[in-house]
Amino acid sequence: MHLMKSQDTPEKSPRRARGRPRDWHDKTAQNTIKSLDRAMEVLEYLSEGPGKALTTLASDLGQSPATIYRILITLEGRGLVEFDQVDQVWHVGPRAFVIGARFLRRTSVVERARPILRALMEETGETANLGIAQHGHVLFVSQVETHASIRAFFPPGTLTRMHASGIGKALLAEMDAPRIERFLAAAPLEQFTEFTLVTPEALMADLRAIRERGYSIDGEERNLGMRCIAAPVFDIHKEPVAGISVSGPTSRIGTDQIADLARAVVAAANDLTVAIGGGS
């Protein structure tokens, strides 16, 4: 981590994304396909629970049975829904899973995190970071820097030991006991400052507190004068795959600010979890 002073950079004028018409922001009825919208409503409703009978779907969605039937037959032709002949109910079909799986393969944590990190920085006024676990270290993969003159700086590719990192401790706290034991056995807990947790007992006590409150605090444990607050991000298997944090000097992030900043960080981590199709 480095401390940097901000430099003024010219703002770039926004450019229209390729592949979109000039009025792509217009979501009025003239730019929507009503029949497709109804079909997606049926598909989403079917995905929320067990199989539904045609009459139940029609009643719950406020459409005629004939309309719902035409939608179901069309979706069935694409494998998106299927009909159970025995129970006479409709279910989401296997093709819906295939499409969802393709989305998961396409999804990049870094890509999805960028707007969330930017919003977090704007809300808190502090640098927002994204990191992942890498062989006992935290690898910082993305950052949105604060506009403040003094700030924490973790260039992408920066590595820091997990026990002395807000993101690292947030991830460790969500790991199972065998993984934590392997981490502790791999190397001694290196001391960076007088506040670094250098014994397994101290670290384990901190991890228990982190699990209870839902976020971690790096209180000058890696760099004197710097504080970090972090929360974990979970994948579809409810496993921690990344962490989001805000970091800054203790002169701005005092103990009185921790609770408010923590709420923003936890909310951002939850948003990213949802964005990558995960669950906590």
Question: Do 83 and 130 reside in the same domain of the chain?
Answer: no
For the chain, the domain total comes to: 2
Q: Are 81 and 72 within 8 A, CB to CB? A: yes
What's the CA gap between 49 and 56, in Å, rounded?
Answer: 13
Distances (CA, A) of 79 to 38, 42, 97, 126: 17, 14, 10, 47
Which domain covers residue 116, as residue numbers? 107-275
Q: Are 262 and 111 within 8 A, CB to CB? A: no
Checking phi first, is residue 88 left (phi over 0); if not, alpha (psi -120 to 50) or beta? Answer: left
Boundary (domain end) residue, out of 86, 105, 124: 105
pTM of the model: 0.68
Q: Each residue of 63-85: pLDDT tens digit?
A: 999 999 999 999 999 999 999 99
| Token pair of 18 as six digits | 């390729």
Query: In tens digits, what is the pLDDT along the chain, a chain of 280 residues?
Result: 544 444 444 444 445 455 555 554 555 555 568 889 999 999 989 987 789 999 999 999 999 999 999 999 999 999 999 999 999 999 999 888 888 777 656 568 888 999 999 999 999 999 999 999 988 999 998 999 988 777 676 777 788 999 999 999 999 999 999 999 999 999 999 999 999 999 999 999 999 999 999 999 999 999 999 999 999 999 988 999 999 999 999 999 999 999 999 999 999 999 999 999 887 6
CATH number at 37 reads 1.10.10.10
Boundary (domain end) residue, out of 72, 105, 138: 105
Boundary (domain end) residue, out of 105, 140, 162: 105
Checking phi first, is residue 222 left (phi over 0); if not, alpha (psi -120 to 50) or beta? Answer: alpha
Question: Do 176 and 201 reside in the same domain of the chain?
Answer: yes
Q: How many CB atoms lie within 10 A of CB 264?
A: 20
Question: Do 232 and 124 reside in the same domain of the chain?
Answer: yes
Residues ≥6 apart with Cβ < 8 Å to 65? 54, 55, 58
